[in-house]
């Protein structure tokens, strides 16, 4: 914020523009991927890199933006899945604090989709503290190395949104040490699915580093123990 922009108008509008552009990108990804997942991935990489290099709301520090180039693993078609979302069992009471309702900050509240305080969990954040989520489902993924299970979360807050973070055996060497994200619908990162069939599309070629991988000033929720894979996922964004 500057004296010329006391209300933060410019920053707020550029943030809105960033979200608008990311939303359009993922809409294009879902459309293109229906017939050509490789072309959808190429579009995602190109547009995302350009935004990170040129947009005022890029998570990359200003002094590094001009030279920024994204790094990716080779496309692996075997790591694209459409999986059924199954219900999850409640955690022990001490494992998470319930939230049950969504507080809009104006004295009103609304129930989270399928809200159940016994399925609530507080996930640690990179900058300290926690964020509240609802454990609403889990998926079983038939990786080439064998089936693995990941939990899918719903973010507490006004907008809410699907959230699927994960850690794997590449973290700390080939990828960011705290893990990567596959879905983060609060930021429009959503690969689609079929609500009638109860499925989600999970394509690990679209796995991306959270903002805190580029600059520690960002606060990013971390993958909880249930989403720590014991195998390497060499797809998506990488450090180098």
Reported as a single tens digit per residue, the pLDDT across 210-226 is 999 999 988 889 899 99
3-class SS at 163?
strand
User: What is the C-alpha to C-alpha distance for residues 126 and 124, in angstroms, rounded to an integer?
Assistant: 7
3-class SS at 35?
coil
Q: Flag the least confident range among 81-85, 141-145, 186-190, 193-197.
A: 186-190
3-class SS at 24?
helix
Q: Tell me the chain's radius of gyration from C-alpha atoms.
A: 18
User: CA-based angle 127:131:136, to the nearest 5?
Assistant: 140
Mean pLDDT calculated for residue range 192-218 = 96
The whole-model pTM stands at: 0.86
Residue identified by tokens 């693995």 is 148
pLDDT over threshold 80, residue 98: no
Question: Which has the closest alpha carbon to 153: 229, 81, 226, 210?
Answer: 226
């Amino acid at each position: 914020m500057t004296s010329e922009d006391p209300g933060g108008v410019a920053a707020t509008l550029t943030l809105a523009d960033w979200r608008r552009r990311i939303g359009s990108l993922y809409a294009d990804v879902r459309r293109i991927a229906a017939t050509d997942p490789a072309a959808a991935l190429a579009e995602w990489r190109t547009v995302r890199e350009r935004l990170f290099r040129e947009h005022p709301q890029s998570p990359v520090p200003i002094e590094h933006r001009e030279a920024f180039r994204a790094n990716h693993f080779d496309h692996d078609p075997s790591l694209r899945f459409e999986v059924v979302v199954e219900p999850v069992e409640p955690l022990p009471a001490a494992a998470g604090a319930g939230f049950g309702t969504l507080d809009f900050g104006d004295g009103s509240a609304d129930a989270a989709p399928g809200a159940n305080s016994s399925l609530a969990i507080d996930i640690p954040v990179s900058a300290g503290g926690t964020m509240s989520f609802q454990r609403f489902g889990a998926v079983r993924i038939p990786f080439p190395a064998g089936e693995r299970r990941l939990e899918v979360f719903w973010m507490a807050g006004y907008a809410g949104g699907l959230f699927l973070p994960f850690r794997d055996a590449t973290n700390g060497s080939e990828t960011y040490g705290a893990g990567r994200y596959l879905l983060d619908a609060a930021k429009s990162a959503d690969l689609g699915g079929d609500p009638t069939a109860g499925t989600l599309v999970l394509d690990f070629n679209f796995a991306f580093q959270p903002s805190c991988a580029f600059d520690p000033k960002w606060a990013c929720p971390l993958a909880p123990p249930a989403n720590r894979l014991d195998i390497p996922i060499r797809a998506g964004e990488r450090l180098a």
